[in-house]
Each structure stands twice: as structure tokens, then as C-alpha cells.
């Protein structure tokens, strides 16, 4: 379906930047990752450049909102959606405004649409509506009088209500009832008990509930986090760190609330203890796993650094200039470019898992793949590889003109004269770049990646595609993070000069953090916490 367009590096050209763009350097220039200017004798209108990277936090949300507006769709209020969903779940059950007697509950049950599930639906409705505890207890009394027992599901919903409202003393009573009445508890009930016990003086009892969960499955990071919070509040940092180490040993990802709790606990510890090293290891975990703290956690990190006895750390909220320098302390951040070893590691994995993966021939044919490999290997190393159809469609109706300006990858049908695909423009493109035409059934992204990686670490590619499906094909988190770093440093949709990860020089730390809830998983924050040692 698509064709791949590449411009080659002439013999003797350097490896820094783009030495031989498809439009000659004297006639065309790169601005914000988009080729613009005038070409050979034909007047080309200046193309709008991307002022902000597609990887910048909030870009996806803004794009989605724009598309909704174009479609004429009004976003429904989240609260209204929740209320509507809640109404469907409880099928019209409306809790009373006061505790009822057994006879009153009986009349209400007989009048309901679903008497057989009345107690479950009503308790659920109480939880959703924020009903008073006494009203829920009066329902339990009625059910116990009518049936002589309380079902597990009814007690579980009552437990949920108690935990959510902070009625921990009542939770203790429910715990005793359920332990006596049932041979075992499901993970939902166990997690609720852990959450409630952990915020009380009986927090250590949550450890035995945690052990019960371990007999069946691996506890969740939330289970561990709740008990860690209880340990920190009661100044048992040894238990807190032991549980945290267990989270990492099991390969679980800690919750940000857990990190916040540990940094708050660290403020009470002596600087010479090993707590400082442990807390710094959290920052290194964020770096190695490309995790970005939310603003609340970033504030806790700042407070902890500034509280260190005998040290003079100053934290500042800042940003980074286009050259990669911190606007607060002036130090330069790490380069976005991969080392030779990193690039080779990534190239090997992409070739094995994306280009030659088991499903590769769902996207192309063996013959076409071999033909493409021979084409690439028979050319000089490329400077730029362009996803032409993807880029050209920025401007509907003038694709060939856009393609000529941006130096685009082609589709087979692009060669057929039309108003959108003018043959004169296409001939000019073919004069300025090497072109490879794929079949209409082919998916072009693997060809794009192959050509770019084959050409070396200097080669860039032009595409608006975010390559998320291809990144997901890679076998492990480390390689996926390496792919994302390479992608942000080579995809010409506004390339930063610096890497967006937690980093330190010893006398300073720079922590990228989320200052909103708009960031998608493939986007990076634009705000930084600068921590400088002023001693």
C-alpha cells in the first residue's frame, strides 16, 4: 500500500545532523522538525511547523478534545456519567433518609422491582449515595431477623461502606463476624481489612491478613502500600522498608502514594542513617523505569532534600530551555542521543522482534521484505527516512506539494496523476531521493524502522505515527524504554536535545514531574524540579 522514501548521505558527509536533505540545503531548511521553503522552480507555500512535540504532556488530550469538537460531540460531565452508571447498577434502589424498622424495610422490599436481590442492591445504593452508617446497620438488622443470617456478599458491601467512610471501629466488628462465619476471605475483603487496620493502632494485624493473601496469590502494591503507611505513621521504618523491598523483589511497581509516605517518614530520620540512601534509590528507580512523580510527590521530594541536616539543598520548580539547560541552575541535562552500545542493543532487538517478528508477514510478504532489504543495503546510509503518506496527509488535497516540501514516503497509488498527487511534484521528489514502493497490502512502519536503524545512529525519520504497537512488540521494559528514548531523539516532530528522566550530577538532581493529569503514557512532562546543593 505504501512506499518508502529515503534521502541518502553522500560519500564523505559527516554524522552530525542532516547533511543531505532531499531538498537541497541551500533551498530548504529545517524548522521544528519540518522541512520548509521553496524548491526547484516551483513555488511551495510554507508549511506550518509543529510548535510542540507530540510527546509533550497533554498533547494527546488536546488533540482528542479538538477531534471531539470537530465531530460536534459535547463531553459529558464525569459526575453525571458516574451517577448514571451507579443508577443502572442498583436498578433504581433509593436508600431511605433515616434508619428503618424491620416492618418498614419489609414494605420497601415488597415494593421493589427485584425483591430477591433487594438487600445487595440497597447496600450498594447506600455506598454510592453516601448514606449514614445507622441506616445501613438497620438494613443488616432486618436481613438478619428475616433470614437468620447475613450473606458474604452483603457483608462485603457493608464492609466497603465502612472502610470508605472511615468507620474503622465498625470494621473491626465486621472482621470478627466474617472470620467466624466463613472459612476464608476473598482478596477484596482482605484488601479492605488491610486498608482499615493499617490506619489504626492495630496496624500490625494487617500483616497477618497480608500473609493470608500470600497463600493464594501475590498481594497488590496497594496492599503493601497501606501497611507501609501504617508502619511509617507508627515510626517503624524497619518494617516499612522491609515491605518496600519485598514489593521490588516481587517485581511489583510501587504506588506513588507509597513513595510519598516514605519521603515523609524520611524527614524524621537522622541524616547519617541508611534512610537517605534508600530514599535516593527511589529516585534511581524512577530513572531506570522512566517514572515521573506527580506534583504532590515531587513536593515531598523537595521538602525531604531541604530538611536534610547538615546539608544545604535548595529546590526550585523550573523548566528546560531548547538547548537542554535548566532555567534555574543553568546545568545541562543528559543528551537524548543513544550511545553506540545502546543503539546497537536497540537495533538488534527491533530487527528481531519487530522487523523479523513472528507476525511480520501479516504486514508484508517474504519476497517484499527481501526486496526491501536489498534496496536498503545497496544504498549509502540514509540521513532521513520519511513516512510520506502519514506526513503528506497533514494537508488534504495538496499531498504531493506537502510531500515534496517534507520529503515523503510514497504509496503505490501516489504515482497515478491526480489533483492530490501531481506527477510533476512526484517526479521532483524521485529526483531528490531514493524511493521504494511497497504493495498496497503492506504496513509501512516496519520498513521505516528498518531503513532508519540500518543507516545508523545519526539517521532521523519523519512520521506522525507514535509507533506504540511496535514498541509493545519488544520483549522487556528496558528495551521499550530504550526505543522510546531513541524515538524521541530521532523522530522529526520537534526533537529535544535532552532526555526526560530523573538525573543527577552529584551536586544537583533534576526530576521531571507531572503538573497535571493530562499526560498519556507515551508523553513526557515539561516541568522539572531542580535540586541544587548550595554548600
For residue 405, the domain's CATH number is 3.40.50.11980
Per-residue model confidence as pLDDT tens digits over 243-255: 999 999 999 999 9
| pLDDT, position 192 | 98
Per-residue model confidence as pLDDT tens digits over 179-206: 999 999 999 999 999 999 999 999 999 9
Work out the pLDDT band at 370, boundaries 50, 70, 90: confident
Structural domain contains residue 251:
no
Dist CA 481 CA 485 (whole Å): 6
- Residue 407 grid cell: 520529503
Write the DSSP symbol of residue 382. Answer: E
Per-residue model confidence as pLDDT tens digits over 256-269: 999 999 999 987 76
- Residue 520 grid cell: 498519556
| pLDDT, position 301 | 97
Structural domain contains residue 331:
no
Q: Ramachandran region of residue 91, left (φ > 0), alpha (ψ -120 to 50) or beta?
A: left
Structural domain contains residue 382:
yes
- Residue 345 grid cell: 542493543
Q: Ramachandran region of residue 148, left (φ > 0), alpha (ψ -120 to 50) or beta?
A: left
Within its chain, how far is the Cα of 237 from the centroid? 30
Structural domain contains residue 441:
yes
Dihedral, 187, 193, 198, 202 alpha carbons, nearest 10: -130
Of 440 and 524, more confident:
524
Per-residue model confidence as pLDDT tens digits over 378-390: 887 877 777 767 7
Residue 449 is part of which domain span? 340-505
Structural domain contains residue 155:
yes
Mean pLDDT of 293-298: 96
The strands making up 503-504's β-sheet, listed across from edge to edge, are 313-318, 527-533, 508-513, 503-504
Which residue, chain included where needed, has cell 509516605?
Answer: 261
Give 513's contacts (C-beta < 8 A, 6+ positions apart). Answer: 292, 293, 294, 295, 297, 298, 525, 527, 528, 529
Picking from 140, 161, 183, the residue at the C-terminal end of a domain is 183
| pLDDT, position 52 | 56
Work out the pLDDT band at 18, boundaries 50, 70, 90: very low
pLDDT at 274 over 50: yes
Exposure letters 346-381 (e unless 16+ CB within 10 A, then b): bbebbbebbbebeebeebbeeebbeebeebbeebeb
The model scores a pTM over 0.85: no
Of 206 and 14, more confident:
206
| pLDDT, position 36 | 28
Dist CA 244 CA 406 (whole Å): 51
CA distance to 80, 252, 256, per residue, from 195 (Å): 28, 18, 16
| Most confident region among 292-306, 420-434, 446-460 by mean pLDDT | 292-306
Give the sign of the dihedral formed by CA 233, CA 237, CA 243, CA 244.
positive
Structural domain contains residue 326:
no
332 φ, ψ (degrees, to nearest 5): -90, 135
pLDDT at 127 over 70: yes
Work out the pLDDT band at 501, boundaries 50, 70, 90: very high
**CB-based burial of residue 469 (10 Å sphere; 0-12 exposed, 13-18 middle, 19+ buried)?**
exposed
| pLDDT, position 462 | 77
Work out the pLDDT band at 400, boundaries 50, 70, 90: confident
Per-residue model confidence as pLDDT tens digits over 448-489: 888 888 889 988 887 777 787 778 788 888 898 898 899 888
Q: Which of 156-165, 256-265, 271-280 has the lowest mean pLDDT?
A: 271-280
Dist CA 315 CA 391 (whole Å): 42
Helix (H, G, I), strand (E, B) or coil at 229: helix
| pLDDT, position 261 | 97
Structural domain contains residue 405:
yes
Dist CA 382 CA 26 (whole Å): 19
What percent of the chain is helix, strand and coil (3-state, nearest 5)?
50, 10, 40
Picking from 183, 205, 238, the residue at the C-terminal end of a domain is 183
Query: Considering the chain, what percentage of its residues have pLDDT values greater than 90?
Result: 47
Work out the pLDDT band at 357, boundaries 50, 70, 90: low
Q: Are strands 503-504 and 508-513 parallel, antiparallel or unpaired?
A: antiparallel
Mean pLDDT of 514-533: 86
Work out the pLDDT band at 136, boundaries 50, 70, 90: very high
| pLDDT, position 422 | 67
- Residue 253 grid cell: 511497581
Please check whether residue 355 is in contact with residue 450, taking contact to mean a CB–CB distance below 8 angstroms: yes
Picking from 143, 159, 183, the residue at the C-terminal end of a domain is 183
Helix (H, G, I), strand (E, B) or coil at 4: strand
Dist CA 106 CA 524 (whole Å): 57
| pLDDT, position 493 | 65
Structural domain contains residue 85:
no
pLDDT at 239 over 70: yes
Dist CA 153 CA 91 (whole Å): 17
- Number of neighbours of residue 404 by Cβ within 10 angstroms: 26
From 139, 143, 144, 206, select the one nearest 171 (Cα to Cα).
206
Per-residue model confidence as pLDDT tens digits over 48-104: 333 356 777 777 677 667 666 656 544 444 444 444 444 444 555 789 999 999 999
Count of the separate structural domains present in the chain: 2
Q: Write the DSSP string, 130-197.
A: T--HHHHHHHHHHHHHHHSS--HHHHHHHHHHHHHHT-HHHHHHHHHHHHHH-S---HHHHHHHHHHH
pLDDT at 32 over 50: no
Amino acid at each position: 500500500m505504501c512506499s518508502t522514501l529515503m534521502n541518502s548521505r553522500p560519500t564523505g558527509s559527516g554524522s552530525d545532523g542532516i547533511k543531505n536533505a532531499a531538498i537541497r540545503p541551500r533551498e530548504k531548511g529545517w524548522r521544528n522538525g519540518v522541512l520548509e521553503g521553496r524548491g526547484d522552480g516551483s513555488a511551495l507555500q510554507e508549511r506550518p511547523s509543529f510548535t510542540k512535540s507530540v510527546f509533550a504532556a497533554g498533547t494527546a488530550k488536546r488533540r482528542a478534545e479538538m477531534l471531539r469538537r470537530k465531530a460536534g460531540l459535547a463531553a459529558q460531565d464525569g459526575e453525571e456519567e458516574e451517577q448514571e452508571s451507579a443508577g443502572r447498577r442498583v436498578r433504581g434502589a433509593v436508600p431511605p433518609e433515616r434508619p428503618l424498622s424491620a416492618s418498614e424495610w419489609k414494605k420497601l422490599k415488597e415494593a421493589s422491582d427485584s425483591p430477591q436481590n433487594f438487600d445487595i442492591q440497597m447496600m450498594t445504593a447506600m455506598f454510592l449515595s453516601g448514606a449514614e452508617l445507622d441506616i445501613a446497620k438497620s438494613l443488616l438488622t432486618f436481613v438478619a431477623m428475616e433470614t437468620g443470617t447475613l450473606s458474604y456478599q452483603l457483608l462485603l458491601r457493608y464492609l466497603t461502606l465502612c472502610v470508605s467512610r472511615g468507620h474503622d471501629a465498625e470494621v473491626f466488628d465486621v472482621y470478627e463476624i466474617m472470620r467466624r462465619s466463613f472459612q476464608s476471605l476473598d482478596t477484596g475483603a482482605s484488601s479492605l481489612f488491610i486498608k482499615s487496620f493499617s490506619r489504626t493502632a492495630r496496624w500490625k494485624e494487617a500483616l497477618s491478613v497480608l500473609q493470608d493473601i500470600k497463600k493464594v496469590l501475590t498481594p497488590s502494591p496497594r496492599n503493601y502500600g497501606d501497611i507501609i503507611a501504617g508502619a511509617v505513621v507508627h515510626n517503624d521504618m524497619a518494617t516499612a522498608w522491609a515491605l518496600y523491598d519485598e514489593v521490588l523483589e516481587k517485581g511489583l511497581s510501587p504506588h506513588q502514594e507509597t513513595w510519598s509516605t516514605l519521603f515523609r517518614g524520611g524527614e524524621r530520620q537522622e541524616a547519617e542513617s541508611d534512610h537517605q540512601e534508600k530514599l535516593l534509590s527511589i529516585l534511581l528507580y524512577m530513572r531506570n523505569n522512566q517514572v515521573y512523580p506527580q506534583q504532590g510527590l515531587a513536593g515531598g521530594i523537595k521538602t525531604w532534600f531541604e530538611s536534610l541536616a547538615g546539608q544545604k539543598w535548595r529546590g526550585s520548580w523550573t523548566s528546560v530551555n531548547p538547548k537542554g539547560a535548566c532555567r534555574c541552575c543553568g546545568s545541562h541535562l543528559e543528551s537524548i542521543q543513544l550511545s553506540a552500545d545502546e543503539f546497537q542493543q536497540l537495533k538488534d532487538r527491533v530487527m528481531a522482534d519487530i522487523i523479523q517478528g513472528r507476525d511480520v508477514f501479516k504486514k508484508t510478504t517474504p519476497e517484499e521484505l527481501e526486496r526491501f532489504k536489498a534496496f536498503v543495503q545497496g544504498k549509502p546510509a540514509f540521513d532521513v527516512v520519511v513516512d510520506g503518506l502519514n506526513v503528506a496527509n497533514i494537508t488534504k488535497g495538496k499531498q504531493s506539494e506537502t510531500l515534496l516540501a517534507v520529503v515523503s514516503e510514497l504509496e503505490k497509488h501516489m504515482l497515478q496523476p491526480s489533483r492530490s498527487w501531481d506527477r510533476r511534484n512526484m517526479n521532483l521528489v524521485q529526483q531528490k531521493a531514493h524511493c521504494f514502493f511497497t504493495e498496497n497490502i503492506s504496513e509501512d512502519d516496519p520498513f521505516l524502522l528498518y531503513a532508519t536503524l540500518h543507516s545508523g545512529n545519526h539517521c532521523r525519520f519523519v512520521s506522525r505515527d507514535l509507533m506504540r504497537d511496535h514498541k509493545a512488540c519488544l520483549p522487556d521494559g528496558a528495551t521499550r524504554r530504550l526505543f522510546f528514548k531513541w524515538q524521541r531523539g530521532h523522530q522529526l516532530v520537534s526533537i529535544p536535545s535532552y532526555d526526560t528522566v530523573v538525573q543527577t550530577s552529584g551536586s544537583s538532581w533534576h526530576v521531571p514531574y507531572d503538573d497535571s493529569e493530562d499526560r498519556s503514557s507515551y508523553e513526557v512532562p515539561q516541568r522539572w524540579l531542580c535540586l541544587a546543593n548550595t554548600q
